Structure 1
Amino acid sequence: MLTITLYFFIIIVAIQFSYYLFVFGKFAFAKTQKSTPKRIPISVIVCAKNEAENVARFIPLLAQQDYPDYEIILIDDASSDNTLEIFEEFEKQYSNIRLVKVQNNEAFWGNKKYALTLGIKAAKKDYLLFMDADCYPATKDWITTMSAQFTMHKTIVLGYGAYEKKANSFLNKIIRFETMLTAVQYFSWAKTGHPYMGIGRNLAYKKEEFYNVKGFISHMKIRSGDDDLFINQVAKSKNTAICFSPESFTYSQPKTTFKGWFTQKRRHVSTANFYKSFDKVQLALFYVSQLLFIILPIILLAFQYQWILVLSLIGFRYLFSWIILGFSAGKLKEKDVMYWFPIIEIVLIFTQLNIFITNIFSKPVHWK
């Protein structure tokens, strides 16, 4: 039995090696992006529900973008705070801001996709750039850098939505590492020709992509997934580009409690159940290989079975994964989280296991 366990462990290390080198390596070793500004007309779309404090801080940053032809579509999704009033003041202040007011609809109660659909229909430009209400662009060149990736054939651009750094917070490092790892995965798979998701905090696509599939209609009843489910449906190797220049990043304020972050991750994980079969399999295989990489060597070392070989395999796995993720973290300006890599990885593996189990017995709460 121990011999079989050892062989199984070797297979797991081989699977991990394949993921890191042949998939994640596509992004880790990618050259620095160089792009020529396109200056194409852009509609920036921001959907907010009860985000008064955030929009008051961040919308002015959008209005200060150094870009010649863009409009900002502000969508108020039936907020109960003073988000709408703040939006109305911005509409008066900035000539390129237009407001979409969404009333509660019985058929689409609390559905962000319904609100976004109204905003997209109101947009006058053919190219759409999305950001969440609790986000802000890293630079005044955010629109310029993201839109530069559009070409005649590349009509979808996947960006990076980072989280702010909080000093002396281990939870913050966990959140940023998990966000970085997720980005490495969807950037890398996009570079292999299998794009499978994007994030609404930083995402762009041509309006025709939305209308070609009748918008969110195929998954309108699923509360989440206005970003990743939509991209999973429409993205292909020929029409998808990635953007990882630091000027294109957006930043959000991270959760400050484990409970808040855990609830957020429950929503994200539940949406992945509706991905295409190949994408669900590759994500599941990677996670299972991570989990077994922790469990199997514990069993082997407990019985002191081939312990030199087991320790060598552990060291080899951490060497190549640390190198690949280290290069990736450098591209995404997240190098500091790599000092905690082994510990954070273990925390994430068992947190995700907890999420899987919890989601079986109760449904996560979505857009309120």
Structure 2
Amino acid sequence: MVFEILLYALGAVAFIQFIYYIFIFGKFSFGKPVSGKPKNIPVSVIVCAKNEAENIKQFVPLLLEQNYPTFELVLIDDASSDETRELFEEFEKQDSRVKLVKVDNNEAFWGNKKYALTLGIKAAKYEYLLFTDGDCYPNSKNWISEMTSHFTQQKTIVLGYGAYIKVKNSLLNKIIRFETLLTATQYFGWAKIGKPYMAVGRNLAYKKEEFFNVRGFMDHMKVRSGDDDLFINQAATSKNTTICYSEDSFTYSEAKKSFKEWFNQKRRHVSTAKHYKVFNRFQLSLFYFSQLAFLLLAIVLLAFQYQWMIVAGIVVLRYIFAWFSLGFAAGKLKEKDVMYWFPIFEIFLIFTQLNVFITNLFSKPAHWK
């Protein structure tokens, strides 16, 4: 009787996974690409950096080489202790399109990236804003053009893809990129069905009016992270949000090089997600717990060889539809190589996530300093 109940439970969580992968994530995975129309609207590209001197030297020139007629580059130095501010000042002297915003430590907003970004947004002279980070670079000279081409009168928020640089023979790099692929497939899929809930600040665009419509970051200013996902969670709707995932629109940054650094990064992301809207917290939790439950139920039933042919069939079917859904998404986001490891990476991430939840119960993660 107990094993029969477990078998029914396995079928139920497999069905939940089917709904997610085929009908929600599948809206992105299997959907036809939608090309935007070039707008040539004036754009303020905003980069907030803190102690990013080495990256700034490499990446700011790439931003200034963008093939776009009218844009300014708003460089925000958030109280850096290295040469970041000096480098920004040099760029400002050399190019009239560069505007430097200097942020000094403020007792009320000590080390708060949202405060620095607010000053940068207010300083931007154009209505359309495009964001990336100091450690990122665009994949092409058409990055601005691609991202802004998806703006319309109704669509005033554009979610982009922030990829990580591929590192040959690095298993951790592949794990990080697989997680990034899964996360993007989720937020693109939900956006496609009219339920946008997050974005990444490495590649995000919106009109300035959207920022002021929700009073900027004021409602979550005390949450140290979330300048991207918490803002989108609050401001994005089915009517004002769209996505952009053409290869020319990607940005790239360097992934964490050690498991400890990556684990701490995940802790920050999870601690931020608890501030999402109730429905978003529910759908994310349901997806994760259906993954965990499916794995545990399958292991128990197969270990006791209860109706093992049926159980094996459910397991194989589940991995086939999940593989297809993520595989098509990986093709669109140029991450096909991580799919060869799909079952192993998924299992590893499930238990890593569980470890993150438990760790966060006993201590708070470190944020932007």
TM-score tier after normalising by the smaller chain length = over 0.9
Moved more, 26-35 or 250-259: 26-35
Q: Which amino acid aligns with 1:187?
A: F
Aligned 1:256-267 pairs, distance under 5 A:
256-267=257-268
Shift of 1:267: 0.5
Say whether residues 1:289 and 2:285 are aligned partners. no
Q: CA deviation at 1:56?
A: 0.9
Residue 345 of structure 1 corresponds to which residue in structure 2?
346
**What SS class does the counterpart of residue 139 from structure 1 fall into?**
coil
1:301: how far off?
1.1
Deviation sequence 1:136-164 (CA, Å, 0-9, x none): 00000000000000000100000000000
| Correspondences of 1:20-35 after superposition (within 5 Å) | 20-35=21-36
2:141 aligned residue? 140
Question: Which structure 1 residue ranges, 5 or more long, are not aligned?
Answer: none
User: Could you tell me how far 1:365 is from its partner in structure 2?
Assistant: 0.3
* Counterpart AA for 1:363: K
Task: Say whether 1:214 aligns with 2:245.
Answer: no
SS in 2 for 1:349: helix
CA-to-aligned-CA distance 1:50-97 (integer Å, 9 cap, x gap): 111111110000000000000000000000011000101111111100
Q: Which aligned pairs between 1:77-96 and structure 2 lie closer than 5 A? A: 77-96=78-97
In the TM superposition, residue 190 of structure 1 has moved relative to its aligned partner by 0.3
> What's 2:9 paired with?
8
Q: CA deviation at 1:359?
A: 0.5
Q: Which whole-Å deviations, capped at 9, do the CAs of 1:95-142 have from their partners, x for residues lacking one?
A: 100000001000000000000000000000000000011000000000
For the residues of structure 2 that align with 1:110 and 1:223, how far apart are their CA atoms? 8
Q: How does 1:246-257 map to 2 (within 5 A)?
A: 246-257=247-258
Structure 2: which 5+ residue stretches go unaligned? Answer: none
- 1:166-190 CA-to-partner distances (Å, cap 9, x unmatched) read 0001100000000011000000000
Q: Deviations over 1:179-227 (max 9, x none)?
A: 0110000000000000000110000000000111111000000000000
Any idea what SS the aligned residue of 2:274 has? helix
Amino acid at match of 2:362: F
Secondary structure (helix, strand or coil) at the match of 1:196 reads coil
* SS of structure 2 residue aligned to 1:183: helix
Structure 1 position 322, deviation (Å):
0.6
**Contact kept in structure 2, 1:33 and 1:244, CA below 8 Å:** no
CA offset digits 1:344-365 (Å, max 9, x no partner): 0001000000000001100000
Give the distance between the partners of 2:86 and 2:50, measured in 1 at CA: 12
**Aligned partners of 2:237, 2:276: CA distance in 1, in Å?**
14
SS at match of 2:96: coil
- SS of the aligned residue for 1:40 comes to coil
TM-score w.r.t. length of structure 1 = 0.99
Question: Where does 1:178-193 land on structure 2 (aligned, <5 Å)?
Answer: 178-193=179-194
How far did residue 32 of structure 1 move? 2.2
**Rounded Cα–Cα distance in structure 1 between residues aligned with 2:92 and 2:298:** 60
Q: Distance in 2 between matches of 1:351 and 1:100?
A: 39
Partner of 2:63: 62
Q: Distance in 2 between matches of 1:20 and 1:7?
A: 20
Aligned partners of 1:146 and 1:248 also within 8 Å: yes
Amino acid at match of 1:49: K
Within a 5 Å distance, the mapping from 1:205-244 to structure 2 comes to 205-244=206-245
Equivalents in 2 of 1:92, 1:343: separation in Å? 51
Once the two structures are TM-superposed, the CA of residue 302 in structure 1 deviates from its matched residue by 1.3
Q: How many Å separate the matches in 2 of 1:140 and 1:175?
A: 26
State whether residues 194 and 236 of structure 1, in contact with CA within 8 Å, keep that contact through their aligned partners in structure 2: yes
Contact 1:47–1:75 under 8 Å retained in 2: yes
2:131 aligned counterpart, secondary structure = strand
- State the superposition RMSD in angstroms: 0.5
Conserved 8 A contact 1:135-1:252: yes
> CA–CA distance in 2 between the matches of 1:186 and 1:125?
27
Structure-2 residue corresponding to 1:116:
117
Identity of aligned residues (%): 69
* Aligned amino acid, residue 318 of structure 2: R
State the alpha-carbon separation in 2 of the partners of residues 28 and 213 from structure 1: 31
Whole-Å separation in 1 of the counterparts to 2:10 and 2:63: 50
Structure 1 moving runs of 4+ over 6 Å: none
Check the 8 A contact 1:154/1:239 in 2, yes or no: yes
Residue of structure 2 in register with 1:44 after alignment: 45
Q: Which amino acid aligns with 2:292?
A: L
Number of aligned residue pairs: 368
Secondary structure of the residue aligned to 2:25 is helix
Q: CA deviation at 1:33?
A: 2.7
Of 27-36 and 235-244, deviating more is 27-36
Q: Distance in 1 between matches of 2:323 and 2:72?
A: 42
